[in-house]
Amino acid sequence: MQVRVGTVGGRVAVAAAVAVMLGGCAGTADDGKKSAGASASAKGAAAGETGTKATSAARGGTLGPAGSACELPVGFAIAKGWKPKSVDAEKELAKAADGEDGDLAGQLAAALLRQGPVTAACEIDAKPSGNIGFLRVWKGKPGNADAGGVLRAFLAAEKDVSEAKYHSFTTGGGVAAVEVEYLKTNKLMEETKKESAFAVGTPDGPVVLHLGGMDTQEHDEMRPAYDLAKQTLKLS
């Protein structure tokens, strides 16, 4: 289960006030500007429109290697203008458990920071580049390197998912990967949108990259940044 408002640290700090679970976007004043196209985009997703823009994202840096904003078992290029932030899931979980709300805060933090067999490790914010959404990186423990199994377990931990389509591919850096594209429904808002994720196995454990977005339009507009990660990902 993923929460869709702000950064991970901020979400944990106000976990008791969070009502919307991770589907891919930050709640900002810009939401109103984007909402007009949300219903049309959702209808397109529900109708099975799966095409994405063919444009490629300009490179804005590299994540993964030691000294980068997020040190990971893999390295990949991020799109220009996107802002990465490392997530220390264990620290955030411990902080929530020690807070005034105790068990409740800990449970909410776990819902934010864990999904299936992986925990949050990095989030890359698209807002500085003009979109509402995140490319999030999740990682698992060493010894569980079955990318397909990890990805299926990751999606199984998400709610209100349909039309999941899996396929295998090799990243531009030569790493075997499995990808899923699916629809995510917000029953409260009666909206459906596209989301995408892919997983790879590494000696240090599996890694999942997930792209959400406020709606299908946002997802498609951010897709070049996600594709850039696919094209450049390699083992660190």
Residue 71 domain flag: yes
Compute CA distances 184 → 28, 45, 131, 189, whole Å: 21, 9, 19, 12
**The pLDDT of residue 55:** 60
Residue 29 domain flag: no
pLDDT of 233 > 90? The answer is yes
CATH of the domain at 213: 3.40.1000.10
Tens digits of per-residue pLDDT, 10-47? 544 434 333 333 333 333 333 333 333 333 333 333 33
pTM: 0.76
Q: Is 204 helix (H, G, I), strand (E, B) or coil?
A: coil
Instruction: Tally the domains of the chain.
Output: 1
Residue 220 domain flag: yes
Q: Residue 104 region, left (φ>0) first, then alpha (ψ -120 to 50), else beta?
A: alpha
Tens digits of per-residue pLDDT, 150-182? 999 999 999 899 999 999 999 999 999 999 999
Residue 61 domain flag: yes
Quote the CA–CA distance of 186 and 21 in Å, as a whole number.
Answer: 9
Residue 177 domain flag: yes
Which has more pLDDT, 89 or 191? 191
Give the single-character DSSP code of 75: E
Tens digits of per-residue pLDDT, 83-118? 999 998 778 777 766 655 556 655 676 677 889 999
Residue 28 domain flag: no
Which range marks the domain in which residue 214 is found?
56-87+116-235
Quote the CA–CA distance of 67 and 71 in Å, as a whole number.
Answer: 7
Residue 14 domain flag: no
Residue 105 domain flag: no
**The pLDDT of residue 100:** 59
